[in-house]
């Protein structure tokens, strides 16, 4: 689908500033449709050629001029008249006499819509020239049906009057404001609550929903005739909007628990602020939900933090205990257990820091490498290289994987070069990781002496590789293959979709 912005570029000779002005208008014109209980259409002349011929006033100049519908907005306060999407429709100017006149003379024109169909006969148009840097660059057409519309009560009259004031600002080139923040997704809408302020910031109208929002903030005194400040509402936003002549949006918090989003649009006439339109939205429940979610997330992270601390305590206890042992084998065994626990603690450390249950595994890898270097002979420099990235992994995968990789790196550092003459080759270990979204491939290879003759991963009774094998197969539902070719190679494939079986690794 072509966006209105694309359309404008394609069909019209408007410059970038004018296009942005029209984009801003369409970014916030839901409010205008709601205030006027009407459908809105934005017409722009078709192209530069049309602009050139039609600019000089006079009937002759308009021959061949066409308008294109750049945008369309339906009201949420009333039924739409247009079931169809009209955006992109090209209409000869002759069929839109009011739009043409408004565009040519640069004034707001209201009248009967030149109806093509029978039911359109009674429709009415209010054509508002959209001015940018003194030039009319488009026409905002408000279309409504006097028979089918809403009964015109007090609220309707106030809203229509607001629309007229803003329409005059559009025609004068003051609206939309260059710095408009209405794009905020939660920005209050007309239906959320409307206050109208006079030039002295006194409230001269409050819609029922606006009154509710103020009640919610604990305001029960007479609203009409008072200013927000006098009512005890933090009114910096309003003051700012009035003094700077820019729209302002602000979140107001009222203890114990009311939170209201306030948007103030200054109403400007001939350079002077003559009043303000304030939209109020009670976002208390919305924010409470946000906070609940946030605090649940914080609680989970806190638990991970405590698990990490406990694991570190266990690890220190093992280390202390190992120092007291006379027997070297026993001491080594305890230190290995201690390192395995540290590998698990690394995962919880990340989970305690990151929101959500995903672990960016790349943040753990350097620590795993350090852990392996810890276990190597300090006189022997072993280079450990990391290639690729495992991406984000759920904790259920990340935890066993951290233990497995720690084990394999440690083995390479510990066994691959034992008894190999120093000069033979620069000792190197490479850990490569690849995650294509559905499966994870991990390889640990070294250029050492390779696995002993007849080594079988299925039969081995040594603890380290037994742990690796069992974690990969049962906890990760993956597969493992070991081989020796210019060194040892261990290859793992772990399926990432739950329940999917791992294919046998290549070369297994």
Contact 188, 262 (CB under 8 A): yes
Kindly indicate which of the ranges 137-145, 191-199, 311-319, 444-452 contains the residues binding ligand ADP, using the contact rule CB under 6 A.
444-452
Report the residue from 464, 470, 475, 477 that binds Mg ion according to the rule CB under 5 A: 464
CA dist 409 and 213 (Å) reads 62
Residue with tokens 């907005």: 73
Q: Specify the residue, 273 or 333, whose C-beta has the smaller distance to ligand ADP.
A: 333
CB of 464 to Mg ion, least distance (A): 3
Strand-pairing partners, residue 250, are 262
Q: What is the x/- site pattern for Mg ion, positions 201-240, by CB under 5 A?
A: ----------------------------------------
> Contact with ligand ADP (CB under 6 A): which of 102, 411, 447, 479?
411
Query: How many other β-carbons are positioned within 10 Å of the β-carbon of residue 338?
Result: 18
Select the residue interacting with ligand ADP from 190, 412, 471, 496 (CB under 6 A): 412
In the complex with ligand ADP, the residue whose CB is nearer, 107 or 463, is 463
Between 353 and 449, name the residue whose CB sits nearer to ligand ADP: 449
Among 378, 419, 437, 452, interactor with ligand ADP by CB under 6 A: 452
338 is a site residue for ligand ADP (CB under 6 A) = no
- Nearer to Mg ion by C-beta: 97 or 464? 464
Binding track over 368-407 against ligand ADP, x by CB under 6 A: ----------------------------------------
Q: Tell me which of ligand ADP, Mg ion, none is bound by residue 210, counting a contact when its beta carbon lies within the kind-specific cut-off of 5 to 8 angstroms.
A: none
Q: Are 451 and 484 in contact (CB under 8 A)?
A: yes
CB of 407 to Mg ion, least distance (A): 6
Q: Which stretch binds Mg ion (CB under 5 A): 27-35, 102-110, 124-132, 405-413?
A: 405-413
Rounded CA-CA distance 471/478 in Å is 9
Which of 388, 398, 468 has its CA nearest to residue 433? 388
Number of helical H runs and strand E runs in the chain: 13, 18
Helix 463-470 to helix 328-353 angle (10° resolution) is: 30
The piece of 71-79, 124-132, 241-249, 456-464 that touches ligand ADP (CB under 6 A) is: 456-464
Which of 416, 433, 494, 496 is in the footprint of ligand ADP by CB under 6 A? 416
The least CB distance from residue 410 to Mg ion, in Å, is 6
Size of the site for ligand ADP (CB under 6 A): 16
Q: SS3 of 286, please? A: helix
CB of 440 to Mg ion, least distance (A): 22
What does the alpha-carbon distance between residue 173 and residue 318 come to, in Å, rounded to a whole number? 76
Find the part of the chain contacting Mg ion (CB under 5 A) among 35-43, 194-202, 348-356, 406-414. 406-414
> 3-state SS of 135-147?
EEEEEEEEEECCC
| Closest CA relative to residue 143, chosen from 158, 164, 161, 122 | 122
Q: Which of 188, 207, 187 is nearest to 196 (CA)?
A: 207
Radius of gyration, alpha carbons of the chain: 36
- Report residue 431: phi and psi, to 5°: -110, 120
Please, what is the minimum distance in Å from the beta carbon of residue 462 to Mg ion? 7
Q: How far from 33 is each of 12, 159, 169, 253, 274, CA to CA, in Å?
A: 25, 10, 16, 29, 22
Q: Which does 415 bind (CB under 5 to 8 A by kind): Mg ion, ligand ADP, none?
A: ligand ADP
Residue 124 sits at φ, ψ, to 5 deg, of -125, 155
Q: Nearest distance from residue 376's CB to Mg ion, in Å?
A: 12
Nearer to Mg ion, 223 or 404 (CB): 404
Tell the residue number behind the tokens 């294919």, with chain if given. 503
Told to check if 462 binds ligand ADP by CB under 6 A, we report yes
Helix H or strand E encompassing 5:
helix 4-11
Which of the stretches 112-120, 148-156, 294-302, 410-418 binds ligand ADP when contact is defined by CB under 6 A? 410-418
61 is a site residue for Mg ion (CB under 5 A): no
CA distances from 401 to 10, 366, 411, 474, 482 (A): 54, 14, 15, 12, 17
465, 472, 476, 496: which one contacts ligand ADP (CB under 6 A)?
465
Partner whose footprint covers residue 452, from Mg ion, ligand ADP, none (CB < 5 to 8 Å by kind): ligand ADP
Determine which residue in the list 411, 435, 447, 479 makes contact with Mg ion, applying CB under 5 A: 411
- Which span sits near Mg ion by CB under 5 A: 211-219, 322-330, 433-441, 464-472? 464-472
Checking DSSP bridges between strand 272-282 and strand 194-198, what pairing results, if any? antiparallel
**What track of x and - describes contact with ligand ADP for positions 483 through 502 (by CB under 6 A)?**
-----x--------------
Structure tokens at 357: 């249950």
**In contact, 271 and 305? CB cutoff 8 Å:** no
Interhelix angle 463-470/395-411, rounded to 10 degrees, is: 150
Q: Is the peptide bond before 176 cis (omega within 30 degrees of 0)?
A: yes
> In angstroms, what is the minimal distance from the CB of 466 to Mg ion?
10
Write out the residues near ligand ADP by the rule CB under 6 A.
411-412, 415-416, 446, 448-452, 460, 462-465, 488
Write out the residues near Mg ion by the rule CB under 5 A.
411, 464
């Amino acid at each position: 689908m072509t966006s209105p912005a694309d359309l404008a570029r394609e069909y019209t000779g408007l410059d970038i500033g004018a296009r942005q002005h029209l984009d801003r208008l369409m970014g916030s014109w839901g409010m205008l449709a709601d205030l006027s209980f009407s459908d809105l259409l934005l017409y722009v002349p078709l192209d530069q050629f049309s602009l050139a011929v039609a600019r000089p006033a006079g009937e002759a100049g308009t021959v061949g001029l066409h308008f294109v519908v750049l945008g369309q907005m339906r009201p949420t306060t009333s039924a739409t008249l247009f079931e169809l999407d009209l955006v992109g429709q090209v209409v000869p100017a002759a069929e839109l006499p009011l739009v043409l006149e408004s565009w040519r003379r640069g004034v707001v024109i209201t009248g009967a819509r030149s109806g093509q169909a029978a039911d359109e006969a009674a429709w009415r148009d209010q054509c508002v020239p959209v001015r940018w840097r003194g030039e009319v660059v488009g026409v905002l057409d408000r279309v409504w049906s006097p028979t089918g519309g809403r009964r015109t009560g007090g609220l309707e009259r106030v809203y229509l009057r607001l629309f007229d004031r803003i329409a005059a600002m559009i025609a004068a080139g003051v609206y939309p404001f260059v710095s408009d923040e209405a794009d905020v997704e939660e920005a209050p809408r007309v239906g959320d609550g409307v206050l109208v302020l006079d030039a002295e910031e006194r409230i001269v109208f409050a819609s029922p929903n606006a009154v509710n929002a103020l009640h919610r903030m604990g305001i029960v005194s007479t609203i009409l005739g008072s200013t927000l400040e006098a009512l005890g509402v933090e009114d910096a936003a309003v003051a700012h909007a009035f003094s700077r002549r820019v729209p302002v949006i602000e979140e107001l918090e009222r203890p114990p628990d009311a939170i209201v989003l306030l948007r103030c649009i200054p109403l400007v006439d001939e350079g002077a602020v003559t009043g303000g339109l304030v939209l109020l939205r009670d976002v208390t429940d919305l924010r409470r939900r946000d906070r609940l979610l946030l605090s649940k997330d914080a609680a989970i992270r806190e638990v991970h933090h405590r698990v990490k601390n406990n694991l570190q305590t266990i690890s220190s206890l093992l280390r202390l205990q190992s120092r007291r042992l006379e027997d070297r084998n026993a001491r080594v065994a305890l230190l290995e257990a201690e390192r395995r626990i540290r590998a698990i603690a690394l995962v919880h450390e990340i989970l305690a820091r990151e929101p959500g249950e995903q672990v960016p595994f790349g943040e753990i890898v350097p620590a795993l490498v350090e852990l392996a270097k810890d276990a190597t002979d300090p006189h022997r420099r072993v280079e450990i290289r990391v290639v690729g990235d495992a991406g984000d992994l759920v904790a259920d995968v990340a935890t066993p994987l951290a233990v497995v990789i720690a084990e394999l790196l440690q083995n390479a550092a510990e066994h691959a070069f034992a008894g190999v003459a120093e000069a033979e080759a620069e000792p190197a270990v490479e850990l490569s990781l690849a995650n294509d979204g559905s499966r994870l491939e991990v390889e640990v290879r070294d250029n050492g002496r390779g696995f002993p003759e007849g080594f079988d991963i299925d039969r081995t009774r040594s603890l380290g590789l037994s742990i690796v094998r069992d974690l990969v197969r049962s906890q990760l539902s993956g597969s493992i293959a070991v081989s020796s070719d210019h060194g040892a190679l261990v290859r793992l494939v772990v399926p990432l979709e739950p329940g999917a079986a791992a294919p046998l690794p290549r070369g297994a």
